Chains A and B, each alone.
Chain A
Amino acid sequence: MLEIKNLHATVGGKKILKGINLTINPGEIHAVMGPNGAGKSTLSYVLSGRSGYDVTSGSVTYQGQNLLDMTPDVRASSGIFLAFQYPVEIPGVASATFLKTALNAQRRFRGEEELDAIQFLKLVRSKTKELGIKDDMLKRPVNVGFSGGEKKRNEVLQMALLEPTLMLLDETDSGLDIDALKVAADGVNRLRSPERSALIITHYQRLLDYIVPDFVHVLADGKIVKSGDKSLALELEEKGYADICAA
């Protein structure tokens, strides 16, 4: 599904990613862990196509296509979903309008018929109900005045609605209490299927108690320095990054 080869990237001229190799097959959940400044967020932004994150060499293939050629909206419509570490507040845009615009943009891109207001509401209400999210959130401007937990819930709602093929979770656990963490994990687990994959970027092991990964990679100084199964996450938790990264 996703094949990253020798990926190098710079931000503002500074080298951040220094040769990443990673392959994610359909149905797999990968976790990338690493200390602050290792390049975790850069990896998620490079994959989602944010400007200012420049790929200097290497390649990324997604479903057989060159991902790096695609604009961010095309990547999203092709099934890549980035759950933001810091979801952005957008004053003046109601959450419902935002969700409908996004969903219909993706449907249009895929050549599917757009949903009208009634169809959309029905769909979104079924999702909010499933996730235990209050409907009044839909009327509020996107993320404006939301607590940290509410913002992450909103990310999960978007993910549930857009049904991505590849979920990228960027430090989704940061700033979350245990209940919110469970909601986020639950959102991902509900979408788990043999066709869907996820890349979970996290500093701490605790999210991985709820979303159990198939593979764990350690990212340090722009490279993957170690890979293993879920036990690697526990080992990291126990020993800290210093030992592993120095090894």
Chain B
Amino acid sequence: MMKTLSVRAQNYVDHFEAALERLPGLKDRNIKALRKSGIERFAARDFPTRKIEEWRYTNLTQFVKMAANTAANEDTAALPALTPQAFDAKWEMVFVDGIFAADQSRLEDLPNGLSISSLASELGNGAVFSLNDEEDRALVTLNTAFMRDGFCLHVSENTQIDDVLAITFRNTASNDGRHIRNRIILDTDAQLTVLERHEGTGTYFVNPVTQVSLADGARLDHYKLQNDSIAACHLAITDVDIAGKAIYKNFTLSVGAKLSRNELKTVILGADAQSHLDGAYLMRGEQHCDTTTLTEHKVPQNISKQTYKGVLDDKAHGVFQGKIHIFKDAQQVAGDQLSKALLLSDFAAVDCKPELEIHADDVKCSHGATTGELDEDALFYLQARGIPYESARLLLIEAFMGDVLEHIDNEQVRSYFSTQAAAWLSGK
């Protein structure tokens, strides 16, 4: 008997054949087969429900009730999103509604060793993309079926790029999903700094899947600002393979979307490799933001660190699930994880699930999670020095956020994210 799918999932399945004709890579048999395999696997799974352990705290029920290309619920568009702030990048790749907009992008004077292209052009070129046979994440299979565009970055051996490459996704209201597929490949000892920004207006669904491969000694500073429309649904997955001595640093600042999930998976495959996953989420109204991380230490002698901080006001809901998985024989590994949330309202809530799965015996791991309110003693202390209540409150929230922003190594990005955080605090 056929499984009964959710309205939205069934809609994707029903429209797949027709969509196939419009998606890039049409003439490439491999791509076509890949997409078919994606939709078949998606059809066998449907969107995740809370019955799946990894999705226990994020409820997609409302989201999957509606078909993707029927009129979406516009009521949720009541709150305005943060005004996007300018970022002065040397190079910028712009995507409008999920499609590369060459006319709005600035990609002149690229240094030797850095190649930038759009996925749509790569798919047409017969580039080989594969779907892992064991892939069981519904959102990845859906993305594979419908992937349309995205960024493909390649930095060749020994090329170190200091300037920030900005990649901006601008979205407008739409009933179609934006199935963005990105690929970043850094060869041996290559270095790159990427700032990914997501912004938009109205109701839409974005499902970016990003695959990153870092060769020996490579370093990627990967920054992401999720400032999607307050009515949007943003479900992102980033998978990263880290070879020996390579460093992956991710910092995600989430302020937008009605419903968002940022899922990060780093797989450490070499000695002296580092995985740093940090971030901050600032939510109000009825926003929901889920951060789910998985770090796998597959070999000995490497480290992973995670620090996440959340500020939740009104009826906002935060989720942090972080898992460190240390494989058998992965000795002398250090894994640290910290999650802190600040609740500004009695109705705001956070669910936190740190998890350690350790199969080696010579490892150092720690995890900590705290949830609290503003310190009344500190508030009074500031007021007793002449600082009005509202300013004192802002100062303390900024202080709570401050040390996590210190994890951002790039000064320009750090100041940019600080400005964004300050704008959120002042409600703009």
Chain B binds chain A? yes
Name the contact of B399 in the complex, choosing from A77, A82, A90, A103 (C-beta under 8 A): A90
Kindly state the separation between the CA atoms of A77 and B387 in the bound complex, as whole angstroms: 8
User: Using a CB–CB distance below 8 Å, which chain B residues touch chain A?
Assistant: 375-378, 380-389, 391-392, 395-396, 398-403
Show 9 residue pairs from A and B whose CB-CB distance is below 8 angstroms, ordered by the A residue. A72-B380, A73-B388, A73-B392, A82-B384, A91-B403, A93-B396, A98-B385, A102-B387, A105-B386
Knowing A93-B395, A93-B399 are in contact, say whether A88-B378 is a contact too (CB < 8 A): yes
Q: Which residues of A contact B392 (CB under 8 A)?
A: 73
B188: min CB distance to chain A, Å: 39
Q: Which residues of B contact A103 (CB under 8 A)?
A: 386
B418: min CB distance to chain A, Å: 13
Using CB atoms, name the residue of chain B closest to A52.
B376
A57 interface residue, CB < 8 Å from B? no
A172: min CB distance to chain B, Å: 14
Name the contact of B382 in the complex, choosing from A82, A92, A98 (C-beta under 8 A): A98
In the complex, besides A49-B384, A73-B392, A84-B384, 20 extra interface pairs with C-beta distance below 8 angstroms are A50-B380, A51-B380, A71-B389, A72-B380, A72-B384, A73-B383, A73-B386, A73-B387, A73-B388, A77-B386, A81-B384, A84-B381, A88-B378, A88-B380, A91-B399, A92-B399, A98-B385, A101-B387, A101-B391, A141-B399
A42 interface residue, CB < 8 Å from B? no
Using CB atoms, name the residue of chain B closest to A99.
B385
Q: What's the dominant secondary structure at chain B's contact region? A: helix
A88 touches B381 (CB 8 A): yes
A158 interface residue, CB < 8 Å from B? yes
Using CB atoms, name the residue of chain B closest to A87.
B381
Looking at B380, B386, B388, B389, the one whose CB has the most chain A CB atoms below 10 A away is B386
Q: Which residues of A contact B396 (CB under 8 A)?
A: 90, 93
Name the contact of A102 in the complex, choosing from B378, B385, B398, B402 (C-beta under 8 A): B385
A201: min CB distance to chain B, Å: 15
A4: min CB distance to chain B, Å: 18
A202 interface residue, CB < 8 Å from B? no
Chain A 37-77 interface mask (CB, 8 Å, partner B; 1/0): 00000000000111100000000000000000001110111
B397: min CB distance to chain A, Å: 10
A32 interface residue, CB < 8 Å from B? no
A165 interface residue, CB < 8 Å from B? no
B399 touches A76 (CB 8 A): no
Q: Which residues of A contact B401 (CB under 8 A)?
A: 92
A88 touches B377 (CB 8 A): yes
Q: Which residues of B contact A158 (CB under 8 A)?
A: 385
Which residues of chain A in 132-156 are interfacial with respect to chain B, using CB atoms and an 8 Å cutoff? 141
A224 interface residue, CB < 8 Å from B? no
Kindly state the separation between the CA atoms of A88 and B377 in the bound complex, as whole angstroms: 7
Q: Which residues of A contact B376 (CB under 8 A)?
A: 51
Kindly state the separation between the CA atoms of A46 and B392 in the bound complex, as whole angstroms: 20
Knowing A51-B380, A98-B382, A102-B382 are in contact, say whether A92-B387 is a contact too (CB < 8 A): no
Kindly state the separation between the CA atoms of A81 and B380 in the bound complex, as whole angstroms: 13
Kindly state the separation between the CA atoms of A246 and B176 in the bound complex, as whole angstroms: 83
A16 interface residue, CB < 8 Å from B? no
B383 touches A71 (CB 8 A): yes
Q: Which residues of A contact B378 (CB under 8 A)?
A: 88-90
Kindly state the separation between the CA atoms of A73 and B386 in the bound complex, as whole angstroms: 4
Kindly state the separation between the CA atoms of A87 and B381 in the bound complex, as whole angstroms: 8
B380 touches A101 (CB 8 A): no
Knowing A92-B398, A101-B391 are in contact, say whether A106-B377 is a contact too (CB < 8 A): no
Q: Which residues of B contact A72 (CB under 8 A)?
A: 380, 383-384
Using CB atoms, name the residue of chain A closest to B402.
A92
B403 touches A92 (CB 8 A): yes
Q: Which residues of A contact B375 (CB under 8 A)?
A: 88, 90
Kindly state the separation between the CA atoms of A104 and B258 in the bound complex, as whole angstroms: 38
Kindly state the separation between the CA atoms of A89 and B383 in the bound complex, as whole angstroms: 14
- Nearest first, the 8 A-B pairs at minimum CB distance are A92-B399, A102-B385, A76-B386, A72-B383, A106-B386, A88-B381, A92-B402, A77-B386
Name the contact of A92 in the complex, choosing from B380, B383, B388, B400 (C-beta under 8 A): B400
Kindly state the separation between the CA atoms of A163 and B234 in the bound complex, as whole angstroms: 53
A179: min CB distance to chain B, Å: 25
A73 touches B381 (CB 8 A): no
Knowing A50-B380, A84-B381, A90-B378 are in contact, say whether A109-B400 is a contact too (CB < 8 A): no
Looking at A71, A72, A158, the one whose CB has the most chain B CB atoms below 10 A away is A72
Kindly state the separation between the CA atoms of A101 and B381 in the bound complex, as whole angstroms: 13
Name the contact of A105 in the complex, choosing from B381, B387, B400, B402 (C-beta under 8 A): B387
Knowing A92-B399, A92-B403, A93-B395 are in contact, say whether A105-B384 is a contact too (CB < 8 A): no
Kindly state the separation between the CA atoms of A73 and B390 in the bound complex, as whole angstroms: 11
A162 interface residue, CB < 8 Å from B? yes
A232: min CB distance to chain B, Å: 29
Looking at A50, A81, A103, the one whose CB has the most chain B CB atoms below 10 A away is A50
B399 touches A162 (CB 8 A): no
B385 touches A162 (CB 8 A): yes
A162: min CB distance to chain B, Å: 7
B389 touches A162 (CB 8 A): no
Q: Which residues of A contact B382 (CB under 8 A)?
A: 90, 98, 101-102
Q: Which residues of A contact B395 (CB under 8 A)?
A: 93, 98, 101
Q: Which residues of A contact B383 (CB under 8 A)?
A: 49, 71-73, 76
Kindly state the separation between the CA atoms of A141 and B400 in the bound complex, as whole angstroms: 12
A93: min CB distance to chain B, Å: 5
B407: min CB distance to chain A, Å: 13
B384: min CB distance to chain A, Å: 5
Using CB atoms, name the residue of chain B closest to A93.
B399
Q: Which residues of B contact A51 (CB under 8 A)?
A: 376, 380
B384 touches A76 (CB 8 A): yes
Looking at A73, A82, A141, the one whose CB has the most chain B CB atoms below 10 A away is A73
Q: Which residues of B contact A162 (CB under 8 A)?
A: 385-386
Looking at B375, B388, B402, the one whose CB has the most chain A CB atoms below 10 A away is B388
A105 touches B399 (CB 8 A): no
Kindly state the separation between the CA atoms of A102 and B403 in the bound complex, as whole angstroms: 22
